[in-house]
Amino acid sequence: MSTVPVCPVCDAEVHLQGTTIVSELVVCDSCSCMLEVRSLDPLQLAEAPQEQEDWGE
């Protein structure tokens, strides 16, 4: 029984390819959200913190 991680934002299955490592960033195919791999066993994804682009100063 394989665990397919789901996007925490839109609940779609996220297909990871190749070797997955903790804290790897992946993009959800469905909603294009940036997701972070939080753990491998079980595979868990979390919404990656949005990096604010700071063009000030």
Residues that bind Zn ion (CB under 5 A): 7, 9-10, 12, 28, 30-31, 33
CA of residue 18 relative to chain centroid, distance: 14
50/54 with CB nearer Zn ion: 50
15/22 with CB nearer Zn ion: 15
Rounded CA gap, 46 and 38, in Å? 6
33/54 with CB nearer Zn ion: 33
CB of 32 to Zn ion, least distance (A): 7
CB atoms within 10 A of CB 57: 3
